[in-house]
Amino acid sequence: MRMRPTLSWTPTEALPPATTDLEPVADALRAGGVLVLSGAGLSTESGIPDYRGVGGSLSRHTPMTYQDFTTSAAARRRYWARSHLGWRTFGRALPNAGHRAVAAFGRHGLLTGVITQNVDGLHQAAGSADAVELHGSLERVVCLSCGALSPRRELAVRLAEANRGFAPVAAGINPDGDADLTDEQVGDFRVLPCTVCGGVLKPDVVFFGEAVPPGRVEHCRALVREAASLLVLGSSLTVMSGLRFVRQAARAGKPVLIVNRDATRGDRHAVARVALPLGGALTTVAEELGLPVG
C-alpha cells in the first residue's frame, strides 16, 4: 500500500515547552538501552539541508513522489538529471559532531540501536555500522523490473559518460540528494536502463508516497520493544514512518526524549524536547559522560 505524502504539519494543540537542559538525555544514556531515531536535522551540520527547518528544502521544492517517478518518463529524466548533479556534492558530505557522538554512544554500549530516516550514509561513515536505514540509501540503485541492486557510483560513471558536458550550476541541494535545476537546465538529459534486464532504475530509497518495506518496519518495531528509551535526534516527526515508533514507545511506557530546535509532531509523547543545535548538544553530553568523540 502506498502512503499519501505528508509534507507539512501544523500543531492543533498547545505543546509542552522546550528546554535547553541536556541532563535528561545524559541520564537516559547513563542508564543504557537507548534507541536513537535520527532525521535530516542531524545532517544539516554536514552541509545537507533538512526538509522543514528554517531554510528547509520544502520551502523551495517539492520532492519526487513514487507515483510521479513510476508513471512519467519526463519526471524520471528530471529526477536523474538533478540527482546526478546533486550526487557529486552529496557523496562528498562528511559526518559531523552529532554523527560522531552517536557512534561514540554505540561503541560504549549505551545504545541498543540506531534507526535513521536519512539516506546519506553518514551514520555508517561515522562508525554506526548497524544503523537501520528506514528510508533506504542513495548509495544503492534498484531495478523496478528485476530487483537487481547495484552501487550508485557505477551508475554515476555510466550517466557521466552518457551525458558528457552536463554541468549546470544548481541553485541548491536537498536532503534526498536532489539538486535544484530548472527544466531548461535538465534539457534532454539521458536516463539509463538496468544493465541486467533493461528496466527502470530507481535509487534504493523510499520516495514520498511510497511505503517503507514491511519487514524493515517490523525490525524497527522490535528495536523499540527491546529499548529502554527512545532518543529522537533532528526530526520533525511529520511523517508517520518515524512518528509511529515514538507512539509505540510512549504506549509501552518508555521515555521518549527529543533533541530538535523546532517543535515536532511527537512532542506531546516526550518527557522532554531539548531545543539546541545537535552537534554541540550531543558533544556536550558525550563529554559529560566521559566519552571521547572521534
User: Amino acid identity, residue 68?
Assistant: D
For 176, the grid coordinates are 534526498
| 84, 99, 123, 135: the active-site residue | 135
Q: Per residue in 26-37, is it b (16+ CB within 10 Å) or e — as a string?
A: bebbeeeebbbb
Average pLDDT, rounded, for the chain: 90
38-94 confidence digits (pLDDT tens): 999 999 999 888 754 444 444 445 778 999 999 999 999 999 999 998 887 777 889
* Diameter of the chain measured on Cα atoms: 57
For 123-157, how does the pLDDT look when each residue is reduced to its tens digit (9 = 90+)?
999 999 999 999 999 999 999 999 999 999 999 99
Those residues with Cβ within 8 angstroms of residue 167's Cβ, 6 or more apart along the chain or in another chain: 85
Residue 21 annotated as binding? Answer: no
Cell 507515483 sits on residue: 67
pLDDT for 6: 52
143 has binding-site annotation: yes
Per-residue pLDDT tens digits for 24-45: 999 999 999 999 999 999 999 9
Q: What is the reported pTM?
A: 0.89
On whether 55 is known to bind a ligand per the annotation, the reply is yes
Per the model's pLDDT, the better-predicted residue between 294 and 52 turns out to be 294
The C-alpha cell at 196 is 541486467
Please indicate if the annotation marks 52 as binding a ligand: yes
Q: Which of 271, 22, 34, 77 is nearest to 188 (CA)?
A: 77
What is the pLDDT, as a whole number, of residue 9? 61
Residue 170 pLDDT > 90, yes or no? no
Amino acid 177: pLDDT: 73
Please state, in angstroms and as integers, the Cα–Cα distance from residue 54 to each residue in 90, 96, 141, 244, following that order.
20, 19, 31, 25
Predicted confidence (pLDDT) at residue 3 exceeds the cutoff of 90: no
Q: What is the pLDDT of residues 223-240, one digit of tens each?
A: 999 999 999 999 999 989
pLDDT at 208: 86
115 is in an annotated binding site: no
Mean pLDDT of all residues in 236-260: 96
**Is 8 marked as a binding-site residue?**
no
- 135 an active-site residue? yes
Q: How would residue 173 be classed by pLDDT, with cut points 50, 70 and 90? A: confident
Which domains are present in the chain?
A: 18-48+95-135+211-294 (3.40.50.1220), 59-92+138-205 (3.30.1600.10)
Q: Is 235 annotated as a binding residue?
A: yes
Q: Residue 19: pLDDT above 90?
A: yes
CA distance 262 to 120: 22
